Structure 1
Amino acid sequence: MPWKLSTEFTFDSAHIIEGYDGPCGRLHGHTYRVRMELESERLRPSAHVRRGIMVADFKSLKWAKKDVDQGGLDHMFLNEHPELGDDTTAEVVAAYLHRETMRRIHADLEESDDGADLKLRVLLWETPESCCEYWE
């Protein structure tokens, strides 16, 4: 792939891993660190510039850092998220971040662009030492 767009951000959220026999089964929070890496074979227009000069807009990769009231995950109780529910492990959250980010990117594409060349990798740290990586 000729281009790779990378960005990192953090968001703070709380959760409970239902059924977990240990401290993670109790309410606790994390400052999640996220790294998004999006690869593409070509450049495209975005919602903010109509010329084909971007892999994607950085804004479309950073949506999750917004406050929960603005559609992000910051300061959210993750167990109340309709797509996560009681399954709030790093693995499940990373897969959700991937799925929702790709949905948002594809929503911004022109009708003639299926985005088949776009490849996204999501890295999610729950702690400075513990990371989950998800890609398709």
Structure 2
Amino acid sequence: MATWTLHTEFKFDAAHFIEGYDGKCGRMHGHTYKVHIAAKSHKLNPSKYLKSPDMVCDFKELKWAAADGKKGGFDHAVLNETIPVATTAERIAEYIHKETKKRIPADIDLRVTVWETESSWVEYTDQDV
């Protein structure tokens, strides 16, 4: 079966604190987050930018979280004021996944990896791996 897997990476700078955390992560601090998104599909699709079915999905739709916080993304935002979930790396990855799924065709398998530091990251998918 034909399979395409689209990959993209982006970074954003944001502040956050983990509410209820007993330690320094419970205080406001910032990170340069790195995000990798893999979008896997067995067919090509149109998008709102290209009417013919010639792409898995549009890179623009995968990179929405890289936009400025005042434009709906996370860059230079306070994540606690931006997303309705705890701001752990796990919940950030899950939130990016769920919001991205709303922007792309339903039959695409998505995997989101979020690095909070160079040596600490989490991967999220809604598929049984």
- TM-score, normalised via structure 2 length: 0.93
Q: Secondary structure at the match of 2:44?
A: coil
Residue aligning to 2:68: 67
Provide the identity percentage. Answer: 52
- Listed one character per residue, the Cα deviations across residues 26-56 of structure 1 (whole Å, up to 9, x for unaligned) are 1100000000000000001111111110000
Displaced runs of 4+ in structure 1, greater than 4 A?
Answer: none
Residue aligning to 1:109: none
Q: Secondary structure at the match of 2:7?
A: strand
Q: Is residue 2:110 matched to residue 1:120?
A: yes
2:15 aligned partner, one-letter code: A
Residue aligning to 1:51: 52
* CA RMSD after TM alignment: 1.0
CA distance in 1, matches of 2:26, 2:119: 20
Q: Secondary structure at the match of 2:121?
A: strand
- Listed one character per residue, the Cα deviations across residues 69-109 of structure 1 (whole Å, up to 9, x for unaligned) are 1110111111112522xx10000000000000001114xxx
CA distance in 1, matches of 2:112, 2:122: 8
Instruction: Select 2:125's aligned residue among 110, 113, 135.
Output: 135
Residue aligning to 1:88: 87
Q: Secondary structure at the match of 1:123?
A: strand
Query: Where in structure 2 are there 5+ consecutive unaligned residues?
Result: none
Q: Is residue 2:104 matched to residue 1:105?
A: yes
| Paired positions, count | 125
CA distance in 2, matches of 1:82, 1:50: 32
CA distance in 1, matches of 2:101, 2:72: 15
Residue aligning to 1:111: none
Q: Secondary structure at the match of 2:43?
A: coil
1:124 aligned partner, one-letter code: V
2:90 aligned partner, one-letter code: E
